[in-house]
Amino acid sequence: MRPFLLTSLCLLGFLGLFGQNPLVASDSLSQVAWVDSQYEQMTLEQKIGQLFMVNVASDQSSKAIDTIKKLIKEQEIGGLIFSKGGPLRQAELCNEFQSISKIPLLIGMDAEWGLAMRLDSTYAFPWNMTLGAIQNNEIVEKVGYRIGEHAKRLGVHINFAPDIDINTNPLNPIIGNRSFGENREVVAEKGIAFMKGMESAGVLSSGKHFPGHGDTAVDSHHDLPIIPFSRERLDSLELYPFKRLIKEGLSSVMVAHLEVPAMELKEGLPSSLSEQIISGILKEEMGFEGLVFTDALNMQGASKYGDKGEVELAAFIAGNDMLLMPKNVVDAKEKLLKAYNRGKISEGRLALSVKKILMAKYKVGLHKYEPIDKENLYKDLNSLEDDLIYEEAIESAITVVKNNFDLLGIKNLQNKKIAYVKFGDAPSDAFIEELNKYAAVTQVNGSDIANLKSKLYEYNLIIIGHHKSNDSPWKAYEFSKTELSWLQEIANLRTSNLILCVFTKPYTLSNIQTFKSIDAVVMSYQNSDLAQRKTAELLFGAIPALGKLPVTAHSEFPVGTGIELSSLQRLGYSKPERVGLSTQKLNDIDRLMQNGLDSLMFPGAQVLVARKGKVVYEKSFGKPIYSSDSDVRGDDLYDLASLTKILATLPMLMKMEEEGKIALNDTFEELVPGYSNTEIKNVTVLKALSHYGRLPAWIAFYVSTLDKDRKPSKEFYRSTALPGFSTKVAENLFLADAYKDSIYDRIGRQDLKSNRYRYSDVPYYVMKKYIEDTYGEPLDKLTQDFLYNRLGANFTTYNPLDKFPKNKIIPSEEDKYYRYQTVHGYVHDMGAAMQGGVGGHAGLFSNANDVAKIMQMYLQEGYYGGVQFFDSRTVQKFNKCYFCDKKVRRGVGFDKPQLENSGPTCGCVSRKSFGHSGFTGTYTWADPDEEIVYVFLSNRTYPSASNTLLVKSALRTRIQQAIYDAILN
């Protein structure tokens, strides 16, 4: 060995083997041996070849690919940087390239927000600007880790990330959203977190663009930007993140093409070619010992400095180790060879860079290279883990920058009439769809501002969403002139409050002159479907507001602005794993439901599972009826049957109990004085609602109104509404109004049964009468005003045809014994139908999502959406089994788990759990211990109520078992 040649051991010592050198592997002695062995075997040409990292794209032509192969074979280049294409094509090419390279290639990519920055069919994580809004750096580290995992899976060894430029110039055309923000501490802390996450996945990091590209309005791809600041300013701001990350073990630095007069005296010399900046400042002053990469040398900021290898030679002499994307490898290599032979490049200088490159190759595992496994590649690059961290990141980033009148989260839904107006040219479907899960929100359009304003006058809350392309950070983001004008016009409508939601970079707010009449402003940073959905959740208080602006968006909203808001404990929507459930195991529900459909248990159904306040499974199955062309949708309404008891009547009774208007020991005689001389007079509310009141199971009131042919008698019915016949039972069937009294008279004539548990609908007729008599309002109006409107249960109603089109309501039965028609939009239960569709025991229609809201309110002991509907003690009082010692499992209105082997549940729920089932094939259950809400809605009674396959199969409780089996750990 020549005496001036640096051995790897000397090199490692020089680089701080016993310190924090980022290129040193844990098995450093083995690394030394491998590096020495490789270096000793190299010719001079091979050593110089290692300095080049050449650009390649998997979507290139075969001719271009052949050129790369030739460079690998003949020039023996050190690495490749992959650009656009697809993951499978890239994997195949990478394997092929590695197979023909004598020394394994170092593979790099620009994948700042994930492989999707370059490749189709891969995962796009949040942009740095979005991550900059997150206050918990552990989340940023998780994002870095997942990006590292993806890179490693695709055979990428170094990701040119994180971008640690401080974006202090809003007009910066090339950085912007790629920056963590304008605050040096935020950029440094986020950069460190991202770097650590990625490095822990086994992928080398690269801080860029040294010495700082954040404060320029020029794109170095097209020209040479000037950074005109003093050295003091550069040291305190631009260089600060680099210093911090170097101290924490940054693997490499990418040097930008910038003119920095305070650091380089030679006018017009790019920083990427400056020995003073790279060797003097980066290496000597800042002590950086990792790899130094040029930015792409084919960019105009550098390439115009010279041709035929002159730029590459200058870059190497300046102190760069790897020359990224050279214009011409052959010319550049020839220049470097000549410089070496002339003594302009010493062996020591060459060895320093080449051995650092070899050290990096060892550290990423290239000393034991294995080809990329192509099996399950797409799945591995688009995993559930990615969805989970993406969701957590987006939730944590969304920022409330203004919130006058505590408008957010939106409360008092019963007083809100909400309009949504779309700005921007990107999709907004996910936003409006999610908004409507919380309240009735109408999208309003106008041909001109006058037309739009005339439509908006009838609304008292307006939400404007500014939606711009989410394809890349460089897409247009500003409001149009028309939109800015319309925004002020709408803001001046003093009949309403205005919320502005911005789904693009924060700088879009800078063009708004005044926010005086805009009551709330929410910055969502990106327009992905999830960002839209999470913004809707935040508006209604399903998730808290946690983010802070990473940059100054407007003079009114400086960097760091962010109003923290607590959750109002409305249901949110998430993935099972975020609440401790297994997606894979919950998919057993799909199999069970398909079995139900195949076995003709029902035509269609909705199933919902929520845990810890998050809906994590919500699917529709089958069709409204077997012959339907359409499928069941999530916003279709089902007849809830006996779920009405706990979702309509029981809430009113709980309210009355708190108000002192009813007590559990009140008797029927006290509720209905007309029962004073009846056998049922001493039945108490407690016993009746616990189904221990000795009342009959049900009374077939309708039978006595049929004629001898068992058809509706003309004595009681008319085909059109007439005076005295206004109680609509079904289509073209109106019952005599006087029959209402007959129902209560007949109840009063009932004999008490044996003293044992007997499920009964009868108490709910009595409760309905008492509720209506007490408040002087019908039960449907009372429940709507007290509960559904305030809860945002907009799909929950009696007599759904009054509010919804018929095609949104699921048919219940082909009635061949009473109404002789398809029961569609009318309550299936005969007794409730004879009460005009409003029964205390039946009559309610809803979808699974709304049922879950009410059950979640119970689960939260009376609290939901910022409203304490009941005192927690009231919920506990009604959810108590008072007669368990009598083998009566029921609570007060609520069904409870079985006391012995068989019953209404899977047997896997807690004793605190509660719920109910319905005759039409409905079921809901809530478990406070596991914080689980389960809803099953079907029309098993279609076409005939005699179909009991659903009941016999125990499908509903088998699904419940599947839910509990899905609990992790």
Active site residue 221: yes
Q: How far apart are CA 947 and CA 248, in angstroms?
A: 68
The tokens of 968 are what?
Answer: 């992790």
Instruction: List b or e across 955-969, with b for residues whose CB sees 16 or more CB atoms inside 10 angstroms.
Output: bbbebbbbbbebbee
Q: How far apart are CA 164 and CA 144, in angstroms?
A: 14
Does residue 508 contact residue 477 with C-beta atoms inside 8 Å? yes
Beta-bridge partners for 186 = none
What 3-state DSSP class applies to 923? strand
Give me the catalytic one of 110, 163, 215, 295. Answer: 295
Q: Hey, which bits of 720-839 come out as E strands?
A: 727-730, 733-735, 797-798, 813-815, 821-823
Give me the catalytic one of 36, 219, 221, 588. Answer: 221
Smallest CA-to-CA distance from 500 within 416, 640, 399, 596 is with: 399
The helix (run of H) or strand (run of E) holding residue 141 is helix 137-153
Q: How far apart are CA 260 and CA 227, in angstroms?
A: 5
Q: How far apart are CA 336 and CA 350, in angstroms?
A: 10
The answer to whether the bond into 904 is cis (omega within 30° of 0) is no
Q: How far apart are CA 520 and CA 399, in angstroms?
A: 11
Residue type, 426: A
Place of tokens 């009231």: 874
Active site residue 828: no
Burial class (CB in 10 A: 0-12, 13-18, 19+), 605: buried
Q: How far apart are CA 300 and CA 278, in angstroms?
A: 20
Does residue 568 contact residue 949 with C-beta atoms inside 8 Å? no
Instruction: List b or e across 744-775, with b for residues whose CB sees 16 or more CB atoms inside 10 angstroms.
Output: eeebbebeeeeeebbebbbbbbbbbbbbbeeb
Q: Write the CA distances from 105 to 85, 371, 931, integer angstroms.
A: 19, 12, 52
Sequence-distant (6+) residues with CB within 8 A of 603 are 622, 623, 624, 625, 626, 628, 939, 942
Q: Hey, which bits of 133-178 come out as E strands?
A: 158-159
Ramachandran region, residue 479 (left: φ > 0; alpha: ψ -120 to 50; beta: rest): beta
Sequence-distant (6+) residues with CB within 8 A of 689 are 650, 653, 763, 767, 890, 892, 893
Smallest CA-to-CA distance from 666 within 645, 687, 694, 650 is with: 687
Strand duo 821-823 + 614-622: pairing: unpaired
Does residue 884 contact residue 900 with C-beta atoms inside 8 Å? no
DSSP 267: T
- To the nearest 10°, the Cα dihedral for 903, 907, 911, 917? -40
Residues known to be catalytic: 221, 295
